[in-house]
Amino acid sequence: MRTTSSAQPRRGAGIGFRTPHFAEIVATRPRVGFLEVHAENYMAGGPPARQLHALRSDWPISLHGVGLSLGSAEGLSAAHLERLAVLVERTRPLLVSEHLSWSVVGDAYLNDLLPLPYTEESLRLVSENVARAQDRLGRRILIENPSVYLRFEHSAIGEPEFLSELVRRTDCGLLVDVNNIFVSCANVGGDPQAWLAAVPAQAVEEIHLAGHSVNDADGVRILIDDHGSPVPPPVWDLYEDAVRRFPAAPTLIEWDSNLPPLAILLAEAAKADRRRDRALSETSDARAA
Amino acid sequence: MPALHDLQQGIGGAVTGNGDGAAVLPCIVDDGPGAAARLAVYANHYRVTLIDALAATFPVTARLVGCDFFRAAARRHVRETPPRQPVLCEYGADFPDFLAELQETATVPFLADVARLEWAINAAWHAPDPRPAASSDPAALRLHPSCRLVVSPFAVDDVWQAHQGDEGDLAAIDVHGGPVRLLVGRNPDDTVGWIRLPEAETAFAAGLIEGADLADALTRARAADPGFDAVPFVAALIDSGFVILPDPDQGQEILR
């Protein structure tokens, strides 16, 4: 197989780490590029924090936050940002990421990644919140495109254009979730290829891959990003396009509901490596031709 | 076009079930699936994931009332008492009190206390590890940060134990064999366990949990039982693994 030259060392795909796999991972030491965990699962301390500490000596760790609520009009929770900062300090992760979404209003945490209207008001607010988070954490964070199930009438900016401007204003990085692009474009319209072309390639530092489910809403098909199945064929195809566009970004397999045996997860990660090699060798072939 | 904060308040109400989202529906593009059906995707996710979280934290409680009743009660609780922050292992502290207030649970008078025990188990498991005690001063006896007390007129520990197998069998135990005072804590092997305490020992442990020194804890215990002897109890606590012992390495570190 042809290898591609790259300024950065190649990092094999990573997997989402979940507690039931801990003993097997420690015993079998799989050769994955990195392990990603949901930051909120490690903020309380105790046995989970000790597990993460044990893993971090052997694998680079990606802390993926789901609760910072960067799109909250009320601003960030100082208490939650502080807990994240303590975890980042303790873990010294390779990557820290969060979402272009909101989940807190008033006293309520809504336990979901809710969509924002893409407006100048939202852009100003998210930029402030991202800047504040980066200041406190003392590092760049990656912002992930969410899977969305609705679109606002008054959204005036495209999602990739919104993210591009966020990068320009805050110097944040991007986490491109290929499955989320596919799901969102199917649910609210949009062209996945155009999406990939519209974000600044040099800002993309991670790619997510996952499966989704097909559901029914009002008798119409709606795709739900549930991380509960293998990556489906059209998402693999879109992944190859993403790899050609963002060749330096490491890939992560997210599969955390209906958690499969570790071997299945590792096979998905190996498949991501093969699809990446194939995508990049086709690029070289095209250049040579 | 609504201000973002107004929009988020409207959506928040629709997601938690404390509003119908009528004010925000006109802001949502109404094609393919209608705006209400689109918003319902988020409301469903909120409801199902949080009910699942409560079911995972309160499994014996759920078995005592049956899955359907439990999920209906949990559904009401997640609507009335949304999480206040994103660390979900800390969600559910108010659920036992909520269950105690439900009229339908009056026939299971020990239900809320079983839930309190399950909450203590959850909290003990997720509690931070202690920093090693740097001092060998015996007046600074500290309990493990996972330690908490559960007190009930019912034998809730026996009820919990009877539901660890496939069949929950209450016939074999005396639910009314209380009161019980349980010191719950995380064992060195990361399982959670407890010891049943008499009244004076409970007062002593409560003092230590609140940060009292030995003399103060002793005063509290003797108020309950003037004849209380701390020595055997402290020895039992040390045997249980619930006491943070001074770390000799830590001491050398300081000497250096």
pTM of the full structure: 0.93
pLDDT for B256 equals 29
Any residues with CB less than 8 A from the CB of A83 and at least 6 apart, and which? A43, B87
Taking residues B42-56, what's their average pLDDT? 97
The beta strand positions in B43-197, using DSSP E, are 142-143, 148-152, 180-186, 192-196
pLDDT for A128 equals 98
Going by pLDDT thresholds of 50, 70 and 90, the confidence category of residue B245 is: confident
- Give the 3-state secondary structure of chain A: CCCCCCCCCCCCCEEECCHHHHHHHHHHCCCCCCEEEEHHHHCCCCHHHHHHHHHHCCCCEEEECCCCCCCCCCCCCHHHHHHHHHHHHHHCCCEEEEECCEEEECCEEEEEEECCCCCHHHHHHHHHHHHHHHHHHCCCCEEECCCCCCCECCCCCCHHHHHHHHHHHHCCEEEEEHHHHHHHHHHHCCCHHHHHHHCCHHHEEEEEEECCEEEEECCEEEEECCCCCCCCHHHHHHHHHHHHHCCCCCEEEECCCCCCCHHHHHHHHHHHHHHHHHHHHHHHHHHHC
What DSSP character marks residue B140?
G
pLDDT for B252 equals 40
Going by pLDDT thresholds of 50, 70 and 90, the confidence category of residue A99 is: very high
Contact B126 A45 (CB under 8 A): yes
Contact A121 B4 (CB under 8 A): yes
Contact A111 B39 (CB under 8 A): no
Q: Where are the domains of chain A?
A: 14-288
Query: Would the pLDDT of A287 be above 80?
Result: no
Query: Would the pLDDT of B31 be above 60?
Result: yes
Taking residues B165-192, what's their average pLDDT? 88
Distance CA B244, CA A10 (A): 46
Name the fold adopted by A14-288: TIM Barrel (3.20.20)
For A152-198, the pLDDT digits (tens) are 999 999 999 999 999 999 999 999 999 999 999 999 999 999 999 99
Please report, rounded to a whole number, the percentage of residues in chain A having pLDDT higher than 70.
94
pLDDT for A286 equals 67
Query: Would the pLDDT of B136 be above 70?
Result: no
Taking residues A207-231, what's their average pLDDT? 94
Distance CA A75, CA A83 (A): 16
So what CATH class is B129-256?
alpha beta
Taking residues B57-79, what's their average pLDDT? 97
Query: Would the pLDDT of B38 be above 70?
Result: yes
Q: Is A78 on the interface with B (CB under 8 A)?
A: no
Contact B40 A217 (CB under 8 A): yes
Shortest CB distance from B82 goes to which of A41, A50, A109? A109
pLDDT for B139 equals 62
Q: Is B133 on the interface with A (CB under 8 A)?
A: no
Query: Would the pLDDT of A9 be above 50?
Result: no
